[in-house]
Amino acid sequence: MIRTVEPSPHVSAPVLAAYSYCEAVTGQQARNFAYGIRLLPTPKRRAMSALYAFSRRVDDIGDGALADEVKIARLEDTRALLTRVREGEVDEDDTDPVAVALAHTARAFPVPLGGLDELIDGVLMDVRGETYETWDDLKGYCRCVAGAIGRLSLGVFGTEPGARGAERAPEYADTLGLALQLTNILRDVREDATGGRTYLPADDLAKFGCSAGFDGPKPPEGSDFAGLVHFEVRRARTLFAEGYRLLPMLDRRSGACVAAMAGIYRRLLDRIERDPEAVLRGRVSLPGPEKAYVAVRGLSGLDARHASRRTVRRHA
């Protein structure tokens, strides 16, 4: 069982200011993430915002317009900052609010900070232009950039006392991260291709005649693009089904947070499945009211109860 260490009721003014900064970053830049973390109690919401703000910094370095060697240097600087956080060398009056908030989070919750090292490793893979021959290859990348975030988040959420199978919670959190990342990859296939990146496995692209890539609003001539998308959608659904086994292990509001974030991505997956070529024409997204509905559904506990029933059936 992973227990959450609740922070002290008293949080100093500098730390509160640092958390406020991280929450502002999250609110402005996290299109889907913010809907989930709004459902958390204040200490956990702040901690998740700190994790997001640090992760956003790493992602922004990788996605920016700097020369590759400059990106690599900045990513290593960010890793050095993470080392300072890990070793307790960041004071409350440090000038970097993300570092201050993350340091407080690391003291208050048992977050495995090595997951942020994995995120940096994954973004370095992007900078170096790595491609992936097989699903197993891509899975390794997804574990760095998304599975690790799932495991970090679990450090904030904790698991409920007596939860069945709680020793596997990190595995399920990791798998749910993979599901979200594969959905991201499908959604952003045209945008990534425009930026010179290809994430889908070369084996899968070849199988469906899509090795030429996606540099326009139409699939490659003679390809079975819809077949490729439906193949990857089935893979993502399998990952979601496995990852959802985490939900019954969480308290109500943590489960609602996870169900909201995962539910938004599952609905994106539904839209992509219905119209595969939409991802070549532009970014597929959900309107705000639909995201809010998914968040309310998560708070109701429907998804957690469904996952719990499936888990009980498996153990029957």
pLDDT tens string 120-134: 999 999 999 999 999
Among the ranges given (30-44, 50-64, 192-206), the one the predictor scored with the smallest mean pLDDT: 30-44
Report pLDDT for 253.
92
243 close to 262: Cβ distance less than 8 angstroms? yes
Closest CA to 267 of 316, 303, 219, 242: 303
Report pLDDT for 315.
40
Separation CA 90–CA 86 (nearest Å): 9
Q: Which two tokens stand for residue 277?
A: 């070529």
**pLDDT band with cut points at 50, 70 and 90 for residue 35:** confident
Percent of the chain with pLDDT over 90: 77
Q: Model pTM?
A: 0.89
Closest CA to 235 of 307, 165, 136: 136
Report pLDDT for 79.
98
* CA separation, residue 16 to residues 23, 98, 162 (Å): 10, 11, 33
Axis-axis angle for helices 97-108, 68-86 (nearest 10): 40
Kindly report, residue by residue over 274-283, the tens digit of the pLDDT. 999 999 998 8
**pLDDT band with cut points at 50, 70 and 90 for residue 316:** very low
**Is residue 210 predicted with pLDDT exceeding 90?**
yes
Axis-axis angle for helices 97-108, 13-29 (nearest 10): 110
Q: How many CB atoms lie within 10 A of CB 254?
A: 27
155 close to 112: Cβ distance less than 8 angstroms? yes
Q: Which two tokens stand for residue 95?
A: 């000038």
* Mean pLDDT of the residues in the chain: 90
202 close to 132: Cβ distance less than 8 angstroms? yes
Residues 6+ apart with CB under 8 A from 258: 36, 153, 157, 176, 246, 247, 250, 298
Q: How many CB atoms lie within 10 A of CB 309?
A: 11
Kindly report, residue by residue over 247-302, the tens digit of the pLDDT. 999 999 999 999 998 999 999 999 999 999 999 998 888 888 887 777 777 666 55
Separation CA 200–CA 31 (nearest Å): 23
Separation CA 105–CA 23 (nearest Å): 13
Mean pLDDT of all residues in 191-218: 92
Separation CA 22–CA 118 (nearest Å): 21
Q: How many CB atoms lie within 10 A of CB 135?
A: 16
Compute the chain's Rg from CA coordinates: 20
**Is residue 137 predicted with pLDDT exceeding 80?**
yes
